Amino acid sequence: MALPLPPGLTPSEVGFLCEMEHVTVIPRQTLDGLELLGGPTGALKPPFPTPLPLWLALLLKKQRRANITPPPWLSVDALTQILDFETDERTAELFSPSPNLPPATTTAPLEGDPYLAHDSLELSAPFLKDAATARAQADALPYHWLEIGHLLITHAPDDFEDLDAVRKLLRDLREVRMSKLRKGFEVLDAGGGVKMNGVGGMEIAEVRGFVGGVVDGLRKLNRSREESRKERETEERENGFGSSSYRDDEDEDML
Amino acid sequence: MAARLRGRPAHAPGPTYLSYTPNGKKLITVGVNGALRVFQHGSDNEPAIIDVLTDGHTAVASTNDFIVVGAEDGSVTKYSLLTNSMEEILVRCSLPVRDVSLSKDGEWVAVASDELEVKVVNTRDMTRIMHLRDQSRPVKHVSFDVSGSTLAVSCTDGIVYMYSLSSEQPQLIKRVDGLIKTLETDVEASAKVAWHPDGRAFAAPTATRARSDWQRQKAFSGGHRADISAAAWSPNGALLATAGVDKSLCIWETRSQRLLKSYDDVQNAILAIDWHPTDNVCSYTNNNGELFIREDFVPGEHAKHLRIALQPAPMNNDPLSEISGNARKQVGNGDKPNGVRRSAEDQYLDDLLGPDAMSEDEMDFIEDDDGAGYAEETNHVGKRTAVANGGRPAKRHAPFATWNPQVHEAFQPGSTPWRGDRRYLCLNMTGFVWTVNQDTHHTVTVEFHDRQEHRDFHFTDPYKYDKASLNEKGTLFSCRPSSQTQQRAVLYYRPHETWTTRTDWRTQLPAGEEVTSMSLSESCIVATTSKGYVRIYSLFGLPLKVYRQKSMPAVTCASWRDYVITVGNGSVGGDGTTRMLYTIDNIRRDELCQSEDVVALGEDTELRSVFFSDKGDPCIYDTEGVLLILLHWRTPGQAKWVPLLDTKTMDRLASGRKDETYWPVAVANNKFHCIILKGSDVYPHFPRPLLVDFDFKIPVSSFPAGAADDEDRDAAQQKNLEEQYVRASLQHSLASDLVDNTNATSAQKAEVPVMEREVDKALLQLLAAECREGEERGMKALEIAALMRDRTGKMLEAAGKIAARFQRDILGEKITQLAERRLVGLVDEEDM
């Protein structure tokens, strides 16, 4: 039996997933390392900052056993810079790029890109390490930026230097980026596409329902026309007009 | 810097004037409304207000204890700074007062008013008045020279009258004509004479003149396009700040008359400028009732000018104390365009006398002659007025600073100075101690990072503790002796946990002795004192040892378990500052680990902090932002300072956008823990900033991290590996030193082979990089292989494998040979 939920992840599920991200915590009391399913955590020894999964950090924060250091990209300076990039005319079409990929871990002593090697295991978002710890890149929004930002602002407001400015900047960023996404909807078509480089997990979850619905609806509307075109193509192929419509096929396959 | 600039509305809009007290603690502003404001230096608090009966104040001059204020109603009033209240009206003129000037000793005040005569009034006995009546028109400005024996009177007829006040009967010694412009008394432009702090020269709005022969010496030209409204020499005379009515503000270098910096963010015409006697702070007031306190007034690259000692006549710094009376000088009118050029004679003289001759050397010479102690340099005027002045009375004062070795000030590691009414007494990895000044007492708060282990505490502190030291076991405080209460310096130790009722204790130092720095370790308490003693106590207050430090005065100390490092001022180096020497002592074994060894600091760098790392190695941090650790310090004579991190080369600063420095806190967990200071801050402040940690990076090479193309990236990677090798070797030798010299724990012993492996790992990676480069790098690759520390042969085996993987067969063979020789015990030390 089908679940009543729409396909894909709901925002709350995305929010749950982002709690696996590591954040940097300044402990306020000692705690030995824990053997968790997600891997062991480091021992807490004040005042040495330690990376912890976000869920654990929030738990400790609630019990006032730790302070959470907001990641560098969640500072007023960094957010302003990113917002400038998003609103700049020259880059109006783009989302601000996601963090740089780490250098390849697989050493490829000989020629060849390590990312293409068969035995390599190179991570990309959302599995990047240090996306939200104190070592995170300051000038890029990681995959879970919206969720982490929201959770930290709600649960650790006293750890921010300028809470209101951060909150406002986050909201601005969210609106700017959503409007960009929405602008992309205008070109939605059975064969259209929207470039979503740098879009975060929550943003995808938010637009998934709408975009999926629109594309599906368009597909349904266009079904008869497509079917007739396919028939025509089959006929043509049979008649020996071979490869003329190769590109059309590919486009349709994309969605 | 600009961001920090803020005007402080001090008075109702209108002409406003200011004066720093000679000790630099207070800043007094006067304006059109009926109140004086007394700002505390370094505090953002609201200033104290003295409500007065007069308004329309036109001049202020101050000593440490009182100020003298002139007003448009013609009164000159003396106010006490101790009680912030009026003391007496010194003199009353029939016309508005235009300027007042105090002699350096605060004995005499000169009053310029719209009357024709200048009155010089004794500040203690107002019945003693001297009248100076030689000028034909009202006087705009008066200015005492440093010695207080000469008074420069800028008259509205465009002549500067020089009076000697050294005898009972004031005597006109010189009329300097053609120097200043003819100005009305109430215009904003100024004609005030600004005496150079060394007393041999003065600057006037149009020119500087050498004082001895009243000739113009040098011109500071090209900075202003309109009349000059104010000018002031820096306390040491090395710099001159001038402001014009065109809303410009310039800093000049005295020695070269070069324009160092021009500020363009001035909103209103500046009427008065005054330098802070010691800090890089300059304040000015404008004609809109606002006060600007400009911190870091002199840009960083020139700030050294402020630190040099009093310079000879033209330009050197002079001690702050000298500025009280005449430090603040207003430059009168704007410079005249033609004033800039130097006459041929000047140049000729320059040639004869060398670069600084006119201003400095010549003046010295002259000064000897006339004994009056006043050579003025004229800054801006083109003409020289060569009038020999008649008999100069005046005993000469000795305005030049005698050569004085610079001694490093004592400091307490981890503490900050007062800012506002708060300061940190101690800030480290255990917690922090801060104190709040409540005037009659202080309140001390101790907070811990680990809130479970220790409980924060707070107490009222009648002793006004000014130093503290905190660790896991307890807190140590000390206070100064106080002459008022006959209280002696006290050490107070408060343990955090006790199993008896109360074990905190106090101990008094002998009378007259003061704690200059102290430290607390797990086993002892160390205090260095002003008498040069090092006093060591047990944690329960038992005096263990007293000895005199060999290098005095003491600068600071730190301790870790039984090891105590004391730093003191040693012999004087070539640059006039003392070399800092340190001694490391094991107090339990009574052994000197290092005796009077040099704290390796570069030129112009100061020690910022001394502390022990969590592994017990002494570390220092200097003002250049370099963290150094002491290697091999347990063997006498072997110690050397090794840089662990140069914060200026960190990647985060590479973009050049960040302007930040770091305040050292600790070295722990192989990281440098510090507090980031934005802009020009030197000390952290409230609210308590977060601790940040950085990995060590030995400054082996400076390679930009974010290199663009592959080749650069490879090279950067290579440099990275090299740095890793050096760092691992350093850590290895630190760890093996520890194990060799102490009863190390098993964990510490286990660390040595781990570090050894780290070294070899870095070498292997370097080897792989060399192999990748090509066959021709084989020699270097072999050298790298020979550096391997591992004696079991496994690492060399791995090296052979790497060579085989890159098909470097010859190299592989040689590595195998090397491995075999090592295995059979042919130690390759001679090969290396």
Tokens of A197: 């480089």
Give the tens place of pLDDT for each residue, A41-97.
889 988 888 999 999 999 999 998 999 999 999 999 899 999 998 888 887 778 888
A123–chain B nearest CA distance, Å: 21
Burial B460-478 (b: 16+ CB within 10 A, else e): ebebbbbbbbbbebbbbbb
Distance of CA B571 to the CA centre of its chain: 22
List all residues of chain B from 669 to 708 with a beta carbon under 8 Å from chain A.
669, 690-693
Residue A112: inside a domain:
no
Burial of B796 (0-12, 13-18, 19+ CB in 10 A): buried
Give pLDDT tens digits for B364-423: 333 334 434 343 444 443 333 333 333 343 344 444 556 677 888 899 998 999 888 899
User: Roughly how many angstroms between the first and final C-alpha of chain B, as a whole number?
Assistant: 54
Contact A28 B452 (CB under 8 A): yes
| pLDDT at B384 (0 to 100) | 39
B285 with B18: CB under 8 angstroms? yes
User: How confident is the model at residue B311, as a pLDDT?
Assistant: 62
B58's CB contacts (< 8 A; 6+ apart) are: B15, B17, B30, B70, B71, B72, B96, B97, B98, B99
Cα B699 → chain centroid: 26
Asked if residue A111 belongs to a domain, the reply is no
Mark yes or no for CB contact B449/A46 under 8 Å.
Answer: yes
C-alpha angle with apex B667: B665 to B672, nearest 5 degrees?
80
The distance of B200 to chain A (nearest Cα, Å) reads 51
End-to-end C-alpha distance for chain A, whole angstroms: 26
What's residue A208's pLDDT? 82
Element (H, E) at B703: none
Which contacts qualify for A151-158: CB closer than 8 Å, 24 or more apart?
A151/A15, A151/A18, A151/A19, A151/A54, A151/A58, A152/A23, A152/A68, A152/A70, A152/A74, A155/A58, A155/A61, A155/A62, A156/A58, A156/A61, A156/A67, A156/A68, A156/A70, A158/A67
Residue B387: closest CA among B150, B164, B176, B207: B176
B292, B254 in Cβ contact below 8 A?
A: no
Residue of chain B nearest A31, judged by CA positions: B452
Minimal Cα–Cα distance from B769 to chain A, Å? Answer: 9
CB contacts, 8 Å: B450 with chain A:
27-30, 45-47
**Chain B residues near residue A48 by CB distance under 8 angstroms:** 668-669, 693
Task: Please give the DSSP secondary-structure letter assigned to residue B354.
Answer: -
* Residue B263, SS3 per DSSP: strand
In terms of residue numbers, what domain contains A182? 1-99+125-255
With CB atoms and an 8 Å threshold, state whether A48 touches B693: yes
**Residue-averaged pLDDT of chain A:** 81
Return the bridge partners of B630, or none. B641
Residues forming beta bridges with residue B238, ordered by sequence position: none
- A84 Cα to chain B: minimum distance (Å): 16
Residue A153 lies in a domain: yes
In a domain, A46, yes or no: yes
For chain A, say whether B768 makes contact (Cβ under 8 Å): yes
In this structure, which amino acid lies at residue B633?
W
Per the structure, the count of domains in chain A is 1
CB contact under 8 A, A26 and B805: no
Q: Which residue has the higher pLDDT, A19 or A104?
A: A19
Q: Which of B452, B691, B693 sits opposite A30 (nearest CB)?
A: B452
Largest interatomic CA distance in chain A: 79
- In a domain, residue A180? The reply is yes
| Interhelix angle A223-238/A201-221, nearest 10 degrees | 70
Is the pLDDT score of A188 beyond 50?
yes
Q: What is the CATH number of the domain that holds A219?
A: 1.20.58.1020
**Omega before A109 cis (within 30°)?**
no
Q: Work out the minimum CA distance from B432 to partner chain A, whole angstroms.
A: 12
CA-nearest residue to A24 within chain B is B692
Residue A209 located in a structural domain: yes
Residue closest to B815 by CA, chosen among B830, B567, B794: B794
Hey, are the CB atoms on B690 and A26 less than 8 Å from each other? Answer: yes
In a domain, A192, yes or no: yes
CB pair distance less than 8 Å for A49 and B693: yes
- Which residue positions in chain B have pLDDT lower than 50? 1-4, 207-215, 314-399, 707, 830-832
Strands (E) located in B632-704: 640-646, 660-668, 671-678, 691-695
Query: Which amino acid type is present at position B545?
Result: K
* Cα B707–chain centre separation: 36
* Cα separation, B675 vs B692, whole angstroms: 6
> Which residues, 6 or more positions from B610, have their beta carbon under 8 angstroms from its beta carbon?
B413, B556, B557, B558, B565, B567, B582, B618, B619, B620
Residue among A45, A47, A65 minimizing CB distance to B691: A47
Q: Across the interface, which of A28, A69, A134 has its CB nearest the CB of B450?
A: A28
CB contact under 8 A, B806 and A48: no
Domain membership flag for residue A146: yes
Provide the number of CB pairs (under 8 Å) joining chain A to chain B. 37
- Whether omega before A47 lies within 30 degrees of 0, making that bond cis, reads yes
pLDDT value for A59:
94
- Among the partner-chain residues A46, A69, A134, the one whose CB lies closest to the CB of B450 is A46
Cβ-defined contact of A47 to B668 (cutoff 8 Å): no
- B164 burial via Cβ count (<10 Å: 0-12, 13-18, 19+): buried
The whole-angstrom separation of Cα B740 and Cα B733 is 10
Distance CA B630, CA B352 (A): 52
Q: Which residue has the higher pLDDT, A189 or B659?
A: B659
User: In terms of DSSP bridges, do strands B258-263 and B194-195 run parallel, antiparallel, or are they unpaired?
Assistant: unpaired
What are the structure tokens assigned to B195, written together?
A: 């005496």
> Cβ contact (<8 Å) for A109 and B768?
yes
A47 contacts on B by Cβ (under 8 Å): 429, 449-450, 691
